[in-house]
Structure 1
Amino acid sequence: MTEKIESPPAHHPNALERLTSLVTGEEPPATPTTGEYHTNYVFARLREDKPPPGRYHMWGMLAALYLVMFLAGWNDGTQGPLLPSLQEYYNINYLVISIIWVFNMLGFLLAGLTNVFLTDRFGFGIVAPFGAMCQVLGYIFMCWGPPYPLFCFAFVCSGYGLGLQDAQVNTMASRLPNANNLLFLMHAVYGLGATASPLVATQFVKHVRSKVYYYYFVSLGLGLATAVTLLVVFQLRTEDQVAGRRVEDHPESVPQAVTETETKSDGEGGAEVAAPAARTVKTGPTSSGSKMKQIMRISATHYMALFILLYVGVEVGIGGWATSFLIAERGGGDSSGYVSAGYFGGLTIGRVVLIPVTNFIGKRLATHVFTLLCIALMVVVWTVKSLIGNAVAYAFVGVFLGPMYPIVMIVILDVMPFELQAGTIGWIASLGQVGSAFMPFVTGAISQKHGVWILQPLMISIMGVWMVCWALVPRTRVQQRA
């Protein structure tokens, strides 16, 4: 059955586009008025055209996106300082406490598998708040110190919610003007959240160690604030109702695009194709399953997905186990939790100050250079038995790790076919969250047998693997298969 095709109206520049045009002197981009557009949205209001957000409304939307990323960072920066106290509370070892990351990973994986389906039917304005409420449900389970099996299950809920939000926010940001810098700044806000949470968590460890799970009441409040903000600010709008409809105005770059043409007889019963008419029909994959199949057929998807899985795993693995490492191997006390704050603070700084460096030497070379610097610093932590020296080295590791995640999100826009970009960003972002759960679990499992000193060589070896993955990512846009 052929799906209903709607023609989009003329695009009206939104507030950010108008501001950008004032700065650059260029006309704001316009969505072509010719062309046709598919929609799978369930509710009629999601298929309606909305006037572009005004200036203050758009800034409110950006603030809501930043709040989501702040909470994501807050969540990822939490476990490190709390881990030793949670082990004491539940009377469990490294391996058993690491199971929380396995359950977290299940939630992220589920988010990655369902994100495209949910987005195609309900749009950003419903899926993102739904994800926030799932995360809130997880914090409700955690905050009263439940039996350990229920505590683990809570991480499925929070992981699923966080995975959906991460996919939604990265995709939305990629649709807005000046997306490159916006992605860097958004992930800097992630680092800000990851910097703040260890500072707060360490205070709970110091003052209410026997009931350290009360910390999750703070996370619960932030989660509720995020859910309400997304509902109020975005008013259930889809991406298209915020950023304008995705209509490809260069059909020749999409093999599945069908262009109407005029014909004339060649006098021998044949027909000669004349110049294409002005109307373009976009006939790319319209079902969620078809989109996912297209995405999975492209090898670049898997190289970037594995890179981001390993990268986020290292990023969160260091933040999650650095405190335990410093306590066990360097004689640190409860205040070692502040080292996680310094590490994530470096992550925040790196995502801001290294933007011009990345732009100057190029995204691909920058990733290799930053990785080599991180490896060198991890060798310092591994070999230099100084608490202060290790803390400083961890902070600089954060600085050089910082830019890599937004770089990958930008490269997706350069490499993937136009209509598969949103689904690819969602899938890769969700897999990154899987890495944030899987790698800390692996670290805990190995540490149980060999000791937590294994953190440094393990992270170094993973960095070496992701450099190979990054080298395999193509430098030009891949062609979409029919």
Structure 2
Amino acid sequence: MKSWYNVNQSIVSIVFLCYAAGFAIAAVLNGLIIKKLSQSKTIAIGATSLVIGFVMLLMAPPFPVLCIFYAFVGFGVALTQSGANVVVGELPNATMTLNFLHASFGLGALIGPLIASALLQYRPWNYTYLVLSSFAVVNLITSIFSSGTTAVSSLGDQDQQDAQRNALSQVIRYPIAYVGAFFLLVYVGIEVTIGDWAYTFLITERSHDQKFMSHLMSCYWAGITAGRLILGYVTMKLGEKRMIYVYIAILIGMCVVFWVIPIVAVDAVALVLSGFVLGPLFPTILSVAKQSVPCHLYATTVGFLSAFGSGGSALFPYITGVLIGAVGVKAMPPLTLAMSTTIFIAWFFIPNPEANHRSLVRKLAAFIFKRAQ
């Protein structure tokens, strides 16, 4: 894109901000659209926005127009992803099933760059959007002909009346909403910053073997996929609150290793382990949200969290790109370390669903004992 439009790093990075703007718009409007239409129609709207955005990007329009349609893509991704999270999150064993859902994201992130790099050897950058447009059309068709049970559609009369009020204003009263949104914003920033910029760091600071370094990055995304498939069950059994502390502590250690030890083999292990423990964080906090808000607010809460969280995939790579342009690629590892420490602190303020459950059990036992007396 820099070559095609003859722009510098800072200018081309504006597309990340426009992508993030699409997520922000979805975060505000998601609950309203669900209330006025339905969850399934909201997903279809998101899928349509993806088709429009990708088709327009395929046309390689003037750069300002391109930025506008990146917002369409962000908006579409946010609505589609939040809808999938709601539907899957309502299944039994939500912590594990959500991890399976997000493992598919890790798989897509693993194969997507491989497809793109193969195309870019022979075609201009915009041809990658031909593939994405095709996927988006398939996604639109399946979203139209599929349906799922949603929290809003299955409410009782009283809950229906509650849902007619401003759902977003109710959601943000719960700590899981505003603390969770901040946590996911930074978490996704870590995940994608490593995925986008670790390759640049490796070929600049560690080795000039670009093919081998690209394979290391594939291992990182494979680690995320494996972490969601394996650690989802572990997290569900041993407790969300406890295990996320363990995962983030390991992540912090791996960030330090990746930064200070200039040995490719060691950095490879650090990357894979970072991906492995990063994997379950996003789906786990969505599971915690399900246990922390009333049923009729679940869809809006997930949409709010997903949109804000995924906005980090655009915002932080932009910040990293600007920082690297100013001080060099060596800034990437300490930045990810600082971000990892931030989410460790933020997790302390996330509600503990196990504690809430134990509190309810104690209250119920006290009530029964009192009645028995």
Q: Is TM-score (shorter-chain normalized) higher than 0.5?
A: yes
Query: How many Å separate the matches in 1 of 2:92 and 2:140?
Result: 25
Whether the 8 Å contact between 1:101 and 1:440 is mirrored in structure 2 is: yes
Gapped regions of structure 2 (runs ≥ 5): 358-373
Query: How many Å separate the matches in 1 of 2:69 and 2:49?
Result: 10
| Structure 1 position 208 matched with structure 2 position 126 | no
- Alignment counterpart, residue 143 of structure 2, candidates 213, 230, 240: 230
Query: How many Å separate the matches in 1 of 2:193 and 2:301?
Result: 24
Query: How many Å separate the matches in 1 of 2:265 and 2:170?
Result: 50
Query: How many Å separate the matches in 2 of 1:378 and 1:330?
Result: 15
Q: 1:90 to 1:339 in 2, by over 3 A?
A: farther
Whether the 8 Å contact between 2:247 and 2:277 is mirrored in structure 1 is: yes
CA deviation after TM superposition for structure 1 residue 384, in Å = 2.3
RMSD: 2.3
Q: 1:122 to 1:381 in 2, by over 3 A?
A: same
Structure with more contact order per residue of length (Cα contacts < 8 Å, sep ≥ 6): 2
Larger Rg, first or second structure (1 or 2): 1
| Structure 1 position 409 matched with structure 2 position 251 | no
- Alignment counterpart, residue 141 of structure 1, candidates 56, 62, 83: 56
User: Partner letter of residue 204 of structure 2?
Assistant: A
CA-to-aligned-CA distance 1:42-63 (integer Å, 9 cap, x gap)? xxxxxxxxxxxxxxxxxxxxxx
Q: 1:116 to 1:349 in 2, by over 3 A?
A: same
Query: How many Å separate the matches in 2 of 1:319 and 1:179?
Result: 27
CA-to-aligned-CA distance 1:111-134 (integer Å, 9 cap, x gap)? 111100101111122111111111
| Structure 1 position 294 matched with structure 2 position 170 | yes
| Structure 1 position 170 matched with structure 2 position 79 | no
Match of 1:312 in 2: 188
Query: How many Å separate the matches in 2 of 1:99 and 1:318?
Result: 19
For 1:375-414, list aligned pairs within 5 A: 375-414=252-291
For 1:149-164, list aligned pairs within 5 A: 149-164=64-79
Q: 1:232 to 1:422 in 2, by over 3 A?
A: closer
Gapped regions of structure 1 (runs ≥ 5): 1-85, 248-279
For residue 163 of structure 2, give the secondary structure of its aligned residue in structure 1.
coil
Whether the 8 Å contact between 1:202 and 1:334 is mirrored in structure 2 is: no
User: Partner letter of residue 222 of structure 1?
Assistant: F
Query: How many Å separate the matches in 2 of 1:87 and 1:342?
Result: 28
Match of 2:131 in 1: 218
Query: How many Å separate the matches in 1 of 2:209 and 2:58?
Result: 25
Match of 2:150 in 1: 239
Query: How many Å separate the matches in 2 of 1:358 and 1:175?
Result: 18
Query: How many Å separate the matches in 2 of 1:281 and 1:458?
Result: 48
Q: 1:111 to 1:401 in 2, by over 3 A?
A: same
CA deviation after TM superposition for structure 1 residue 226, in Å = 0.6
Whether the 8 Å contact between 2:78 and 2:310 is mirrored in structure 1 is: yes
CA-to-aligned-CA distance 1:395-439 (integer Å, 9 cap, x gap)? 221111001111101101121233222211110111011111111
Q: 1:332 to 1:146 in 2, by over 3 A?
A: farther
CA deviation after TM superposition for structure 1 residue 334, in Å = 4.6
Query: How many Å separate the matches in 1 of 2:9 and 2:331?
Result: 13
User: Partner letter of residue 138 of structure 2?
Assistant: A
User: Partner letter of residue 166 of structure 1?
Assistant: Q
Query: How many Å separate the matches in 2 of 1:325 and 1:111?
Result: 33
User: Partner letter of residue 141 of structure 2?
Assistant: V
Match of 2:22 in 1: 107
Query: Alignment length, in residue pairs?
Result: 355
User: Partner letter of residue 227 of structure 1?
Assistant: L
Query: How many Å separate the matches in 1 of 2:16 and 2:174?
Result: 29
The structure that is strand-richer by fraction is 1
Query: How many Å separate the matches in 2 of 1:176 and 1:359?
Result: 14
Whether the 8 Å contact between 1:94 and 1:447 is mirrored in structure 2 is: no
Query: How many Å separate the matches in 2 of 1:88 and 1:331?
Result: 25
Whether the 8 Å contact between 1:325 and 1:453 is mirrored in structure 2 is: yes
Q: TM-score, normalized by length of structure 1? A: 0.69
Whether the 8 Å contact between 1:135 and 1:162 is mirrored in structure 2 is: yes
- Alignment counterpart, residue 245 of structure 2, candidates 345, 355, 368: 368
Query: How many Å separate the matches in 1 of 2:267 and 2:139?
Result: 35
Query: How many Å separate the matches in 2 of 1:418 and 1:128?
Result: 19
For residue 297 of structure 1, give the secondary structure of its aligned residue in structure 2.
coil
CA deviation after TM superposition for structure 1 residue 240, in Å = 6.2
For 1:463-478, list aligned pairs within 5 A: 463-476=340-353
- Alignment counterpart, residue 226 of structure 2, candidates 349, 362, 370: 349
CA deviation after TM superposition for structure 1 residue 282, in Å = 4.2
Query: How many Å separate the matches in 2 of 1:88 and 1:414?
Result: 49
Out of 469-478 and 117-126, give the one that drifted further: 469-478
User: Partner letter of residue 208 of structure 1?
Assistant: Y
Query: How many Å separate the matches in 2 of 1:186 and 1:466?
Result: 22
Match of 2:360 in 1: none
Whether the 8 Å contact between 1:109 and 1:431 is mirrored in structure 2 is: yes
Q: 1:212 to 1:388 in 2, by over 3 A?
A: farther
